[in-house]
Amino acid sequence: MKKLLAMLLVLTMTLSLVACGTQTADQPKEPETTGSESTAPSEEPSSSNTVDVGIVLPTKDEPRWIQDETRFKDALRSTDYSVEVLFSQGDSAKEKQNVEALIAKGMKVLIICAHDGAAAAAAAEAAKAEGVTVIAYDRLINGTEAVDYYVTFDSIAVGEAMGQYLADRAEGKGNPLYLYAGAASDNNAFLFFEGAWNVLQPKIADGTFVIKNSSEAVALQNKATLTRDEMAKIIGQVTTNWDFNEAKNKAEAHLTAAKKADKGDVFILAPNDGTARSIADTFAADPDVTSYVITGQDAEKASVQYIIDGKQSMTVFKDVRTLVNDAINMAVTILKGETPETTGAYNNGVIDVKAKQTDVIVVDKTNVKSALIDSGYYPASEFTGLN
């Protein structure tokens, strides 16, 4: 009996030891150690998703910026550098998010057309903090040191060209003048207005023109040079915010308030082509408006047709092909470690930003074909009524 009990005890212990050394199917398996656990996955963007030149444009809602997107991509296609174009859709917060997304992809040069010249400082500073070279495109970014270069048309010259076109066509005294401007958030709106005022103010002071839609402009009409705050007061009354509908509504309100004597043969400073078409249609529909001369800029297709049809007087042609090429050439020069060519400087309230300026051309019915069709900017098939 003692022997039997001893054998049973040994058997029991043996089975217990076997059970302890056996892992059941539902027990977790211990992880294997490979020796690579301390190596974190790379946070660098993959080679197929890197960006050398990041481009941020203000909106897809205007033909100008859609055309620019295509031109930028075409211009960089012949280089060894990668590019990505993003749109901010009139939202400064989205603009900054776009810049941050491009930084995450290793962007080295940022070309940015600011939605709001002051608010865009945050986006520029975010890029600069990561060692990115910042090129302000077409619109200056204000109030920051984080802008390296500015590629632009001479915006004051654009305004002067519009003002001169009106002045050259005014005869006698007392010609009704209606002033409109771009967005107060856009530094260019101030430069365009400044240029136009340079030409129009002497003609206002001598009685050639009489301002009909801005009490602020009337109050300042004897000042040849306006401060930014003074311009802001005028622009605040006559801003279109670059919006077609706002331009239409403002023009309708002005004509409703105007007396018949304030109409007749009128002269209209419109800040760009989109607003010019809206304002022109509104004035054309008023039976008390006998004729109008109206300005514009950008040579948009729709406005070129308006010029051919006699519904818009002129546009300032800013050959965006040249501006895009200037911006891309500057970016490529920087990527090569070289210093780009500049032709002037603009003060943004903090620093003088070195700039590359591009010339502009006044286009009306007399030269629309030679300037825009024969130059290859647009095909003749896009328009009707060309001579």
Tell me what pLDDT residue 37 has: 31
What the block records as the tokens of 241 is 């915010």
Query: Average of pLDDT values for 99-121?
Result: 95
CB atoms within 10 A of CB 282: 21
Q: What is the pLDDT of residue 39?
A: 30
Give 189-203 pLDDT, tens digit per residue: 999 999 999 999 999
What letter represents residue 201's amino acid? Q
Q: Quick one: tokens of 66?
A: 């859609």
- Three-state secondary-structure class, residue 321: helix
Q: What is the mean pLDDT of the chain?
A: 89
Q: Which two tokens stand for residue 376?
A: 């290859």
Instruction: Give the separation between CA 111 and CA 73, rounded to whole angstroms.
Output: 13
CATH, domain 155-318+363-382, list 3.40.50.300, 3.40.50.2300, 3.40.190.10, 3.40.50.1820: 3.40.50.2300
Residue 371 clears pLDDT 50, i.e. is over it: yes
Taking 70 as the threshold, does the pLDDT of residue 166 lie above it? yes
Q: Give the pLDDT confidence of 313-340 residue by residue, as tens digits.
A: 999 999 888 999 999 999 999 999 999 9
pLDDT tens-digit readout, 240-257: 999 999 999 999 999 999
48 DSSP assignment: G
Which comes out higher in pLDDT, residue 1 or 43? Answer: 1
Distance CA 259, CA 261 (A): 5
The DSSP call for residue 239 is: B
Q: What one-character DSSP code corresponds to residue 37? A: T
Please, what is the Cα angle at 181 between 226 and 124, to 5 degrees? 85
- Topology (CATH level 3) of domain 48-147+320-358: Rossmann fold (3.40.50)
Please answer whether residues 183 and 189 qualify as being in contact, where contact means their C-beta atoms are separated by less than 8 angstroms.
Answer: yes
Neighbour tally for 129: CB within 10 Å = 10
Please, which residues bridge with residue 127 across strands?
A: none
How confident is residue 350, by pLDDT bands cut at 50, 70 and 90?
very high
Q: What pLDDT score does 31 carry?
A: 34
Instruction: Tell me how crowded residue 322 is: count the other CB atoms within 10 A of its CB.
Output: 14
pLDDT tens digits, one per residue of 17-38 = 444 443 433 333 333 333 333 3
Q: Which residues of 304-314 are buried (b: 16+ CB within 10 A; e: fewer)?
A: bbbbbeebbbb
pLDDT at position 63 is: 84
What's the one-letter identity of residue 291? S
pLDDT tens track for 264-296: 999 999 999 999 999 999 999 999 999 999 999
Which band of pLDDT confidence, cut at 50, 70 and 90, is reported for residue 302? very high
Q: What distance in Å separates the CA atoms of residue 378 and residue 371, rounded to the nearest whole number? A: 10
Query: Is the confidence at residue 46, as pLDDT, over 60?
Result: no
Residues of the chain with CATH 3.40.50.2300: 48-147+320-358, 155-318+363-382
E-strand stretches of 197-343? 209-211, 264-269, 289-294, 314-317
Long-range CB pairs of 335-340, under 8 A, 24+ apart, other chains included: 335/52, 335/53, 335/81, 335/108, 335/109, 340/149
Give the chain's radius of gyration (CA, Å): 32
Listed in sequence order, the residues at least 6 apart from 174 whose beta carbon sits closer than 8 Å to its beta carbon are 207, 210
Residue 144 has pLDDT above 80, yes or no: yes
Identify the residue whose tokens are 């992809």.
105
87, β-bridge pairs:
57
Contacts of 10 (CB under 8 A, 6+ apart): none
Q: Is residue 9 pLDDT above 60, yes or no?
A: no
Q: What is the pLDDT of residue 44?
A: 36
Say how far residue 318 (Cα) sits from the centre of its chain.
Answer: 14
Give the Cα separation of 54 and 109 in Å (integer): 6
pLDDT recorded at residue 275: 98
Asked if residue 42 has pLDDT above 90, the reply is: no
What is the average per-residue pLDDT within 143-161?
Answer: 95
Distance CA 57, CA 324 (A): 12
Output the pLDDT for position 62: 84
Largest CA distance in the chain: 140
User: Given pLDDT bands bounded at 50, 70 and 90, which one contains residue 5?
Assistant: very low
CA torsion sign for 57, 61, 64, 66 is positive
C-alpha 153: how far from chain center: 13
The amino acid sitting at 339 is T
